[in-house]
Chains A and B, each alone.
Chain A
Amino acid sequence: MKAYDVIIIGGGPAGLAAAASARRNGVESILILERDRELGGILNQCIHNGFGLHTFKEELTGPEYARRFIDQVEELGIEYKLNTMVMDISADKVITAMNREEGMFELQAKAVILAMGCRERSKGALNIPGYRPAGIYSAGTAQRLVNIEGFMPGREVVILGSGDIGLIMARRMTFEGAKVKVVAELMPYSGGLKRNIVQCLNDYDIPLKLSHTVVDIKGKERVEGITIAEVGPDRRPIPGTEEYYPCDTLLLSCGLIPENDISRGAGIEMSPITSGAVVNESLETNIEGVFACGNVLHVHDLVDFVSEEAAMAGKSAADYVQGKINRDTKTPDVKIVATDGVRYTVPSVINVDRMDGDSIVRFRVGDVYKNHYVSVYLNDERVLHRKKQVMAPGEMENVVLKKDQLAAVDGLNTITVKLEEA
């Protein structure tokens, strides 16, 4: 069985940045395993603008952003396999993978970095009633068909879900000659970036109906029409508010779910809130030497933060391989409690002795909050109280925990991240 110091599962933005970081931090033996026919992950089909403002101070399209990291990986001479599907990770870091040339094979890793990204919630998971015709696509599948395979999946479109993928596809389909009739959003606010409402919907007079959902699908073999209805505060359809839109396509942009099928198999502890692994300040999971980053850890909105997080994971993996991670800490593992409007934090556990400098703690809020404060408590003492004009579930936030500040607290046993009104 071949062995590598670091094996990275996924060659998208997270995997690429993690690989480059691991190499720069001194690891020679690295392998990226990618299931698609090229590196770049989901960025390859994200042909729109908006990537890289933080990382490169430029506005790039997805493929351009990906190319920056693919170039790094190639310049650094990092090994990768394409068209290779990882089927299993064992608790002792044996990776089972498969491709046409090598068949099924096993690799022993010292460190593993999970960078598998996420999948989309399907129509079935939404339990939308009606027929099951052709013409129902998740927005990402439609995006793949249009941008990579070169096909039009439909001509008259209804979109459910105002997350960024749905908004981007509203514009994309319009550019390719389709008519997007309406975007329905279950919540009373949109899940996507405000800029996308403007440049994907408003620009093309595509109506956005908040607090609406799809209640019926007509068409036995191909979509013939979609009925949407208004929903009440309980998110259930209000009878009598139904509107029928004749169309041939329904695109669904109703949430992304980290793809952790193989992580579960390895016995990695999952967070029921993020559906990603529970990790500490080093982005290490409950299995020593297994790290996670990017969308498989928690769904991001900006790829720049994915790259930043992945670089951290790459460094941690390098530290682990080089025996630099401190397991003999005098300080305990401290849980970060997410409460009062904060849905979750990544990481969710911090060990002060193990911190390598300051820690970025990323989080999401559960609702739209205006003029609230982000507060951080170390035990009972508030150390951060920052006002933010607007916070929304669709926009990831962060706080920075300073190592010396944490070290200064005697008997630190809880860190709390919460929202306060005053």
Chain B
Amino acid sequence: METINLTCIGCPMGCPLTVTMENGEVKDVTGNTCKRGDDYARKEVTNPTRIVTSTVICEGGKIDAVSVKTKSDIPKGKIFDVCSALKGVSVPAPVKIGDVIIKDVAGTGVDIIATKQVDKA
């Protein structure tokens, strides 16, 4: 039986969570105040994931950079692969929130989408 203490990062509350595991399987989660906390705890101890936020170059827009994110979470171990995949990427204005910038980034199956609207200059 193994006990792991975590801080939930699901929302700004940061509830302290306790996960009990046995043979690599999650037996119990306590400390969460919502379902997302429970989901997070289970994932974090078996297959931790993160959402990656970053920027890429925007060309011909009112501003030079457009903020982006992974549309959903990706394996924690692939964070830097995702960052590297964004290197040198540039997207022409206009950009709308939700526009797909890169499909299936770094083999994660998750798209990179724009999180900022950039109008043409």
Contacts and interface: CB of A to CB of B under 8 A. Distances in A.
B116 A197 contact: no
Interface string B22-65: 00000000000000000000000000001111110100001111
A203 B62 contact: no
Contacts of B76: 203
Given A150-B55, A175-B54, A63 B67 contact: yes
Contacts of A44: 116
A211 to B, nearest CB: 20
Interface string B59-101: 0001111011100000010010001000000000000010000
Interface residues of A, number: 32
B18 to A, nearest CB: 14
Given A44-B116, A203-B50, A49 B7 contact: no
A63 B9 contact: no
A199 B6 CA distance: 12
Contact of A64 (B7, B51, B55, B116): B116
Given A150-B57, A175-B52, A195-B14, A67 B97 contact: yes
Contact of B11 (A59, A175, A176, A197): A59
Interface stretch (A141-149, A314-322, A324-332): A141-149
A148 B1 CA distance: 48
Contacts of B83: 175-177
A47 B12 contact: no
Contacts of A175: 52, 54, 79, 83
A49 B51 contact: yes
Interface in A65-112: 67
Interface string A278-304: 000000000000000000000001100
Given A47-B53, A194-B14, A198-B7, A38 B62 contact: yes
B65 A149 contact: yes
B7 A63 contact: no
Given A147-B65, A195-B9, A198-B9, A61 B115 contact: yes
B39 to A, nearest CB: 13
B8 interface: yes
B20 interface: no
B48 to A, nearest CB: 9
A219 interface: no
Given A49-B53, A63-B116, A195 B12 contact: yes
A48 interface: yes
A147 B55 contact: yes
B9 A199 contact: yes
Contacts of A197: 7
A193 interface: yes
Contacts of B62: 37-38
A53 interface: yes
B4 to A, nearest CB: 13
A197 B9 CA distance: 9
A50 interface: yes
A48 B12 CA distance: 13
A69 B76 CA distance: 32
Contacts of B69: 47, 49, 61
Contacts of B50: 199, 203
A198 B11 CA distance: 12
A218 B68 CA distance: 36
Interface of A: 37-38, 44, 47-50, 53, 59-64, 67, 146-150, 175-177, 193-195, 197-199, 203, 301-302
22 contacts: A37-B62, A37-B63, A44-B116, A47-B67, A47-B69, A48-B53, A49-B51, A61-B67, A61-B69, A61-B116, A63-B117, A64-B97, A64-B116, A147-B55, A148-B64, A150-B64, A195-B7, A195-B9, A195-B11, A198-B7, A198-B14, A302-B12
Given A47-B67, A150-B64, A198-B9, 14 more contacts: A37-B63, A47-B53, A47-B115, A47-B116, A61-B67, A61-B69, A62-B67, A148-B64, A175-B83, A193-B12, A195-B11, A195-B13, A199-B9, A203-B79
